[in-house]
A and B are shown apart, each in its own frame.
Chain A
């Protein structure tokens, strides 16, 4: 059974880490009028691009297989690594063929990167998508709707097509399905994490950022069918939730190291943008943009980029860890990531108060040495496996 799914997993891995975005570019070339819209972390409602006949492509940096030469000339040493990888890709023509770029409002670095893209004249449009931090429908909702309208206007200028209500509802339905499939895989992995490694799950989800949602839904369905089966052998590992890695991505080697060191990752925020909306958006309304707005205001997950005073993220993180029956939390943040690192003390305090075990470390997308982190995670895992009263396997 394992061999049957292996080719699909290999394909996903290849697509996920392809910094040329060949699959997306091939899709665009197959039919006139198609557009590619690149978006930076964390969340972007891809539904509107899909409905406009385009493909929203996630751009997550250069990782550990893009040598940074020009990018370093744009950023000081004390700024995180991801934007220099993105600049390098832009200057190396990896992003040629992209029609527009979306920079969601998650931090000052991404905000100013939008300005750099403007100055460099990349794409036919550059949009800094200012997500509201006011969650009243009449205030923040109205503002957000206008922001989305501006994205639609930019795409209209290129394609000459404004998506209809039916097209928008159809796209919303497809992305609802995408999130449903993803959540079902997470739910099964919660109890049977050995059936699909976290590395494979990560690549499957990341591949979804460079292909049409219809194609990704088919892949997710296959993966779901696969994890429903009794495959693999459980190992003596603890279950953990990974938090803080929502923007700059850890290298795949680091993800593997966490697993090898004795952890099953049962939830995470690495690609949380694809799982941002908790539940379904309305897909049969007369105001589909309103449905997208409403979902953002009322169904967003917790995040370091969202004002949380009325719904504290630490309580939601602890609830998630408990829901997943995790043994602990790994706080993994990119170096110099203000949003993630400024959240850490309060999240850690919440863990202390709730008796939730945790460890913390920092990484960079091009981290090449995993030994220290592996030892740290391994010690954490061992300390729980060897010294806790309850057997982990009993979870």
Chain B
């Protein structure tokens, strides 16, 4: 690696935004601001902001707990109260964290929810999760937003109408009741304008990986880039400023021909370009990433960074039709796509981003992602003739991260990619 990591302007901005958000959350008992717990896929951040409320995302708390090495004890706590070892570890981590005082990533206690907004998008377990939270926070209202699955690879008018009616008759009335504010569509439309700007920018940012070398890692660094857009800032001027700054920094890297920044500095040689399917492991995130950058492997596109929305396929929040647009947004998240759609999307990434290989990180906890991944992998291998590989880990359960197993698999995969490059080079020489 070439040099020490220097914090860029965008990193500082993101840190400030998150810090301010958690301070606001810790002061709700003074400010009286209401708190909404909700999920990242299909999140209605703009609507929450329009009512002047603050969002909390239990998945993000769980992944933060994983990164801070606290998830293991939280999970064991939940298992003590009867949760099976077999089920989603995000749920158990969140419940364990709550049982341990609900201390957030900044060390401040998170306020309890005033509203549980169950944006039931692309993951059945979300529903079970909030049914559990409803019992743990008795009396807190739950607003259920059932997002229909794109089983035919399309969003029909009936599906959109269903979403809009639920927003009008289930979600908005509960938000009005909890916040004490009336629904203001013009205010929402104004917020959505900023959302569309941020979405334009994040599409441009993830498109920069088409360059060689790729200026960013679209998976390991990508999870930081999607932070603001997925964690309540979408729709804010701060998010637009953040993504403008980030895009400028990345364009500068492209201009200078620089590779991605890693925790150990700048990657000097891009040896392998990968597309990755599935969420990362959070408990050993740094070690996991290092296995890639040490080998000169950069992820040029990933499905995980699309769980909060498929903006690269053209979707933008639309201020002209706020509620329909929110509904379509929810239906358009990656895990709400059917398997043929997911395969087509990954094939598009592999082709357009000139990937050398395709890798599945199969997550024990997440059936929404994992069920069907083996078929997806075979289909992509057959369709594109691309080398594929498969590793297994978990989101936040440290018991399911086996460093040596993953390293062995990745080493073999990278050797295969290397070999393929040599053969390809020889063939090109022969042809020339």
Q: List 28 A-B contacts (CB under 8 A).
A: A73-B374, A74-B372, A74-B374, A76-B392, A78-B86, A79-B367, A109-B367, A112-B368, A115-B338, A115-B342, A116-B375, A119-B375, A128-B338, A133-B127, A139-B169, A140-B146, A143-B162, A309-B134, A333-B84, A338-B86, A338-B128, A338-B367, A341-B83, A342-B128, A343-B128, A345-B82, A346-B132, A349-B135
B144 touches A345 (CB 8 A): no
Contacts of B392 in A (CB 8 A): 76
Task: Known contacts A108-B367, A143-B158; decide if A342 and B88 are in contact (CB<8 Å).
Answer: yes
B166 touches A134 (CB 8 A): yes
A253 to chain B, nearest CB (A): 22
Contacts of A139 in B (CB 8 A): 162, 165-166, 169-170
Task: Choose from A109, A119, A143 the contact partner of B148 (Cβ within 8 Å).
Answer: A143
A115 touches B340 (CB 8 A): yes
A18 to chain B, nearest CB (A): 27
**At the interface, yes or no: A50 with Cβ under 8 Å from chain B?**
no
B128 touches A76 (CB 8 A): no
Interface footprint category on A = 35 or more
Contacts of B282 in A (CB 8 A): none
B124 touches A107 (CB 8 A): yes
Residue of B nearest to A143 (CB): B162
**Which residues of chain B from 364 to 392 have any CB-CB distance to chain A below 8 Å in the complex?**
364, 367-368, 370-375, 379, 392
B165 touches A79 (CB 8 A): no
Residue of B nearest to A79 (CB): B371
Task: Choose from B82, B148, B339 the contact partner of A118 (Cβ within 8 Å).
Answer: B339
A344 touches B374 (CB 8 A): no
**Which residues of chain A from 109 to 164 have any CB-CB distance to chain B below 8 Å in the complex?**
109, 111-116, 118-119, 127-128, 130, 132-134, 136, 138-140, 142-143, 146
Contacts of B135 in A (CB 8 A): 346, 349
Residue of A nearest to B146 (CB): A133
B110 to chain A, nearest CB (A): 22
A338 touches B149 (CB 8 A): no
Contacts of B339 in A (CB 8 A): 112, 115-116, 118-119
B83 touches A134 (CB 8 A): no
**At the interface, yes or no: A284 with Cβ under 8 Å from chain B?**
no
A345 touches B132 (CB 8 A): yes
**At the interface, yes or no: A197 with Cβ under 8 Å from chain B?**
no
**At the interface, yes or no: B51 with Cβ under 8 Å from chain A?**
no
**At the interface, yes or no: A83 with Cβ under 8 Å from chain B?**
yes
Convert A82-119 into 0s and 1s, putting 1 for each residue whose CB lies closer than 8 angstroms to a CB of B.
01000000000000000000000111110111111011
* Bound Cα distance A362, B82 (Å): 13
Task: Choose from B148, B166, B370 the contact partner of A130 (Cβ within 8 Å).
Answer: B148
* Bound Cα distance A229, B136 (Å): 48
A108 touches B142 (CB 8 A): no
B88 touches A344 (CB 8 A): no
B367 touches A134 (CB 8 A): no
A75 touches B374 (CB 8 A): yes
A128 touches B128 (CB 8 A): no
B148 touches A335 (CB 8 A): no
Contacts of A133 in B (CB 8 A): 120, 127, 144, 146
**Which residues of chain B from 154 to 188 have any CB-CB distance to chain A below 8 Å in the complex?**
158-159, 161-162, 165-166, 169-170
**At the interface, yes or no: A339 with Cβ under 8 Å from chain B?**
yes
Contacts of B83 in A (CB 8 A): 341-342, 344-345
A76 touches B370 (CB 8 A): yes
**At the interface, yes or no: B131 with Cβ under 8 Å from chain A?**
yes
* Bound Cα distance A384, B431 (Å): 82
* Bound Cα distance A338, B142 (Å): 21
10 smallest A-B Cβ distances: which pairs?
A115-B339, A345-B82, A128-B151, A133-B146, A342-B128, A112-B371, A112-B372, A108-B367, A341-B84, A108-B368
A258 to chain B, nearest CB (A): 20
Contacts of B368 in A (CB 8 A): 108, 111-112
**Which residues of chain B from 183 to 212 have any CB-CB distance to chain A below 8 Å in the complex?**
none
* Bound Cα distance A337, B128 (Å): 12
A105 to chain B, nearest CB (A): 7
**At the interface, yes or no: A10 with Cβ under 8 Å from chain B?**
no
Question: Which of A73, A127, A143 has its CB near the most chain B CB atoms (within 10 A)?
Answer: A143
Task: Known contacts A112-B372, A346-B135; decide if A341 and B86 are in contact (CB<8 Å).
Answer: yes
**At the interface, yes or no: A304 with Cβ under 8 Å from chain B?**
yes
**Which residues of chain A from 148 to 202 have any CB-CB distance to chain B below 8 Å in the complex?**
none
Contacts of B169 in A (CB 8 A): 136, 138-139
* Bound Cα distance A140, B128 (Å): 19
Task: Known contacts A112-B339, A119-B339, A336-B86; decide if A342 and B132 are in contact (CB<8 Å).
Answer: yes
* Bound Cα distance A78, B87 (Å): 10
